[in-house]
């Protein structure tokens, strides 16, 4: 927690995530866009990197060695989805107080739109796309053709989150390079419909990231 620059994260939330949500999240779910949820999603992504498996279960070597060039994208996918899994479990255990998990889920979805604007070529970008299209296929969200806004189905998103968490950790434990490569090739890029929605954000001059003004002044 001490390693997170909370003031920077708050700035990204206020200047970027909220404006994105006002464009791409359906109006009746914008009330769930929440800074504490954004901070938790960010923090537990980092926590999740330290969890999971480092060595394949058959003893053939490390997960990194087995997954080769796909490792970084799969590991970022794991951290994203496992972070949400951890938050869900902690909330169910009563460790997060009187929490409405819908805030974390809707904010998580908005966070995909924020992150993918950095591009889909990086490990983080491919991870975002894998998750986005996995959710889409599972019916975790729907897109209104008239308004171009997205609506989250909590139960379906929760189920998809659990399934994807299991799938990725199993993939890592098995050192399944073929499946990792297939997942990235099938889902790890921005398709036309999503790109059109991202273009709307650019047209509104919503920044991609914050800029630090530094120096002697």
Query: pLDDT tens digits, residue range 91-123?
Result: 999 999 888 999 999 999 999 999 998 887 888
- Residue (of 169, 17, 4) closest to 86 by Cα position: 169
Residue 189: is it exposed, middle or buried by C-beta count within 10 angstroms (0-12/13-18/19+)?
Answer: middle
Tokens of 127: 């991870």
Per DSSP, which regions of the chain are E strands? 141-144, 149-152
DSSP conformation class of 2 = T
Average pLDDT over residues 173-195: 93
pLDDT at 45: 94
- Residue (of 12, 19, 42) closest to 212 by Cα position: 12
pTM for this structure? 0.91
Residue 144: pLDDT above 90?
Answer: yes
Average pLDDT over residues 179-191: 93
């Amino acid at each position: 927690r001490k390693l997170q620059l909370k003031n920077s994260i708050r700035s990204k939330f206020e200047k970027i995530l909220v404006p994105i949500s006002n464009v791409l999240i359906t109006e009746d779910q914008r009330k769930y866009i929440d800074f504490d949820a954004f901070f938790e999603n960010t923090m537990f992504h980092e926590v999740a990197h330290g969890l999971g498996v480092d060595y394949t279960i058959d003893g053939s070597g490390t997960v990194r060695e087995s997954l080769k060039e796909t490792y970084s994208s799969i590991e970022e996918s794991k951290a994203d989805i496992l972070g949400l899994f951890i938050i869900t479990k902690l909330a169910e255990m009563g460790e997060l107080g009187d929490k409405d998990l819908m805030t974390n889920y809707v904010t998580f979805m908005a966070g995909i739109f924020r992150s993918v604007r950095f591009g889909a070529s990086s490990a983080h970008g491919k991870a975002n796309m894998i998750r986005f299209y996995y959710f889409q296929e599972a019916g975790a969200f729907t897109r209104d053709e008239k308004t171009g806004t997205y609506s989250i189905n909590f139960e379906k998103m929760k189920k998809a989150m659990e399934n994807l968490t299991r799938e990725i950790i199993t993939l890592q434990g098995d050192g399944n390079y073929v499946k990792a490569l297939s997942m990235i090739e099938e889902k790890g890029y921005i398709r036309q419909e999503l790109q059109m929605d991202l273009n709307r954000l650019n047209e509104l001059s919503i920044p991609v990231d914050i800029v630090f003004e530094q120096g002697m002044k």
